[in-house]
Structure 1
């Protein structure tokens, strides 16, 4: 099977062309030995199984001189390709041609998809693509990927012979590009569109920050609205239909015993509680399907819209200077903000960050310092009776802790520099076919990877509970909880439950009649010490076992240190 590589600069429409060329059976993988993801699918010519190509959507690059992990992967994948479709942005021909000349020097059969042909016309850019084809010696096909224009001709023009292009140095390439541009491109005056004006406003700090706040607030609101709607009207009703079967299995197993505790879990007041029972076929299924998936679906949908519309790079530029202080670049605002709704999509969105160090810092800071919406509501309920002083102290502590901890992690861990180099593309209306295919691939990949990990996590907790390990840990924690943090022993149960659901754990503190200092310390420690099981599983999948162990140790140490200092300072202030 021949390998057809889609190659080009970032934001030139490769994914939309990939969606046009391939069917629904698309695989999302990480390149061996890396965390760099790519898509591959199959394309059948004239419907014949004998004429089939493996189409690979190669990560976007600007040249074959790699400076990032994604670019290194793209160059390595080039060695495996049989044919290249070089996707070129017709609105930015001069910049794109540098990679084109480098690809032609490799001696691999190549055809050029001159994409965004319609946008070029709207901007007053006219390109003599036939003359461009003559000068380069390869076929050039104007395309509009979102409508499918030119795709059929592109496929029928796949070459068999490589182009003839002698190797050139950098200066020679730019001289050749200048000659090509003079002979093929003409630019006339055009009126700025509404999207172009909006693009200018959204990168200007004076107007861009309010726009970013509005967009992210709407995104967060819609993710929460759709997620809660899916839970309330789809997944919870489905589990209500499933509950009688679970009870039959429980009765068949005798209502107790080791096998019952593993499969069904512990009955809470004689009934199955999908959050707290911790059985493989109760909590193990409920967590990924009814707690996580409802937020994953809208999160991936809106992430795709923000990606394909060209808005994400603008947000990154606006907050880049601030994020550099804590070892991140501007795109880290996405996981930190989405974590305020639910830490699960927040952890998932760390994928938008390019380096391992950035993903680790962002996920760790989010898990420690960004309480989800449900937990925030319970914190307000717990400390709200002490007024704005109590609420403000908790959230101010978390904010200050985030910047201090981020600064420490930035200098403590080695890794790639977070310097941002990002093109700001024009605003575009997303192609829904590509958007929905991307959504389906991401959701499917999440379920395939997450469900086994959740089931393993539930099984492990059950085994540890049966062996008495969890009870032993609780007894060890007692001096720490009562001595260092100044909390009553009854708070230990809440901290243990916090691994399942943070908001439930905070709710368990309400009947304890804690003082203001105890309430503030308990709320802060619960927010910081460990993520809920759903977030833990996602972080484990995203970071890997070794990195998750480091993150967990940082969480626990940070919670103890901050909680102890907070107790000491507040006790002196409120004697």
Structure 2
């Protein structure tokens, strides 16, 4: 029997530590429920998540530490992990281990046991290990390591009662005495080999349907077509879900309930007064009024939120079943040419729905250089879902070649600007080193919690920025500055783009809401060629207001100006070239 030591545990903090993709976040959600806050670790953009839980009658704060393979930090995530785990306060460490890959996970486990903190090992994915024929003697592993080992299934809660009893043991002051840990890595791996041989058996199992699917989606010959099919399916699901929420729920609620209520509340103010114009705008149309209670709320809650809900639901599903890492690997070669690695596909996918969460998602990338390139590519490679719908709508009366010309030109401009940016910004693209988790069935409660967390982040971070931007646009309009901006851009619009001077107002509106500006091209009775030029320019020239404000917060003023200037230049060059080539369409 393992010996024990007498220790008084003062900490009421629990650190969830382990390799990437071992299920720490699912364990975190299982422990904390909905009492969660997301924070940025000081000095970096690598996130950790903190929440609270009740164990053994005591309230504990729980921190989901970024995944790491070693305390010899090689990236920002591992630097954050080391800082959190080696602080003065010896928190209780829950080392989440992937039971399907025990030997590889044990290296980090040995480093954690050497910290001198109370530690419990959770053999997560215990059910998947059994399904794959992996049998682990948890009692033998506990004797070898000298710390408590608990088989665990985070998605179902199996093992949670054993974890609570382990915490009670900490409170009693009696802890297992960890086994001595050798210093050098070679000695550690030799010890890991002996431990694995003594407590793990692997039986041969015939390949299941999930095993075959893993092979199909990981091989370039079959994985790339599969990835294209998945992205197309996600694209259409988001489109129909978002449009359905807007047309059948949110827009009717806003028009029939909120607008009359807002107008009634301000009925005592005369039309044209400063306060009434500031709150309701100058027109009754929510998307054109610039009012805080009209446009300021319509944009985030009616036009943006539906696509965010649908995309985050799809993203959570792909995360939960374990597909996203495979998608990143399939696209890694292409992304390297643009100065990114495969994980850059995540903000790009988000950008197909809405650019605001896509810019926020660029935080998953390791270096500031990658985040700048990813943001530029996200803004320029493809239009967001509302823009796409509007482009397809205004060009639907004409042959398909005009629609294809728009999206082809946008993709070419985005690729070209990102290639240029990757060469202007000094630095190298890190290699993609990514854990590939096994496929598993999604857990609906976990999916719902993830969706809640992400929506709350959007509502707390992006919505105030959008409202602030609407306020600024309204004040510029009321003071006449907006008119001067329109006059400034008129020569470029008429001379280089070949568009009527009246469309300058549409260009200015595009900063607020691009899909609306594209829809407002219809009254000008433009030719299909001019519609192509205008659509490309409006999609590329500036980020929309919400994207600009969030980008300013994420990248800072200097990089925001750099990305905006580059995209505007690409928009002007490609749109002008299209204006010259349009006669061949």
The within-5 A match list for 1:479-490 is 479-490=491-502
Unaligned runs of 5+ in 2: 1-10
Rounded Cα–Cα distance in structure 2 between residues aligned with 1:191 and 1:541: 51
Q: Which of 105, 129, 137 is the matching residue for 1:128? A: 137
Rounded Cα–Cα distance in structure 2 between residues aligned with 1:231 and 1:385: 24
Rounded Cα–Cα distance in structure 2 between residues aligned with 1:432 and 1:21: 16
CA contact (8 A) 2:110 2:181 kept: no
Shift of 1:166: 4.2
Q: Does 1:208 align with 2:223?
A: yes
Q: Does 1:63 align with 2:73?
A: no
CA contact (8 A) 2:292 2:467 kept: yes
Shift of 1:386: 5.8
2:86 alignment partner in structure 1 = 79
The within-5 A match list for 1:40-439 is 40-47=50-57, 51-80=58-87, 81-158=90-167, 159=170, 160=173, 161=175, 163-239=178-254, 240-267=256-283, 272-382=284-394, 387-415=399-427, 417-439=429-451
Shift of 1:220: 2.0
- Residues 375-410 of structure 1 show CA distances to partners (whole Å, capped at 9, x for unaligned) of 334434555666344333332222222222121111
CA contact (8 A) 1:12 1:89 kept: yes
CA contact (8 A) 1:265 1:278 kept: yes
Rounded Cα–Cα distance in structure 2 between residues aligned with 1:427 and 1:97: 22
CA contact (8 A) 2:16 2:24 kept: yes
2:38 alignment partner in structure 1 = 28
Shift of 1:8: 0.6
Distance change (3 Å), C-alpha of 1:216 and 1:36: same
2:20 alignment partner in structure 1 = 10
Shift of 1:344: 4.1
- Residues 98-131 of structure 1 show CA distances to partners (whole Å, capped at 9, x for unaligned) of 0011111121111111111221111111112111
Q: Does 1:445 align with 2:457?
A: yes
Deviates more, 1:472-481 or 1:544-553: 544-553
Shift of 1:310: 0.8
Distance change (3 Å), C-alpha of 1:365 and 1:44: same
1:548 alignment partner in structure 2 = 560
TM-score, normalised via structure 1 length: 0.93
Residue 258 of structure 2: SS of its match in structure 1? helix
- Residues 31-71 of structure 1 show CA distances to partners (whole Å, capped at 9, x for unaligned) of 11211112111222343xxx222111111111111111111
The within-5 A match list for 1:502-513 is 502-513=514-525
CA contact (8 A) 1:356 1:415 kept: no
Distance change (3 Å), C-alpha of 1:222 and 1:11: same
TM-score, normalised via structure 2 length: 0.91
1:565 alignment partner in structure 2 = 577
**Matched length:** 566
Rounded Cα–Cα distance in structure 2 between residues aligned with 1:450 and 1:322: 30
Distance change (3 Å), C-alpha of 1:438 and 1:389: closer
Rounded Cα–Cα distance in structure 2 between residues aligned with 1:392 and 1:45: 58
RMSD: 2.2
Rounded Cα–Cα distance in structure 2 between residues aligned with 1:99 and 1:496: 54
Unaligned runs of 5+ in 1: none
Deviates more, 1:226-235 or 1:252-261: 226-235
CA contact (8 A) 2:73 2:79 kept: yes
